[in-house]
Amino acid sequence: MDWIEVGHIDDIPRLGARVVKTDNGNIAVFRNATDEVFALLDSCPHKGGPLSQGIVYDRRVTCPLHNWVISLESGEATGPDSGCTNHYPVRIEENMIYVSLDKPESQPVVYKKTAEV
């Protein structure tokens, strides 16, 4: 599996996101309040809104365009809405974030910042 380096986890503010431009499109890398990190295609399954500009809470992001709530773990819309955007494997080593674009994951995944040493 090939991994691309995204940067240090502290380059992404808590409850924020960073966009990584790739040949596969823009990937939004999110950090939630408990330092879990997730990677989704930066495109809402509704009408392609930029999820990286949404509001992060728990393991979800609210799309800034029409307020669909998307699972950061699975890329799936929650509640009454249906649809799914790609989500990608994330690896954290010594608090550096790596994302693999080889193939989107279909199972929920959680990655967490390691303790400071």
Interacting positions 4-63 with ligand FES (CB under 6 A): 44, 46-49, 63
Pick the binder of ligand FES from 12, 29, 40, 68 (CB under 6 A).
68
Q: How far is the CB of 106 from ligand FES (least distance, A)?
A: 21
Tokens of 96: 């550096």
Q: What is the dihedral of CA 48, 52, 54, 59, to 10 degrees?
A: 110
Judged by CB under 6 A, the number of residues near ligand FES is: 10
Q: Is the CB of 13 or the CB of 48 nearer to ligand FES? A: 48
Binding site for ligand FES (CB under 6 A): 44, 46-49, 63, 65-68
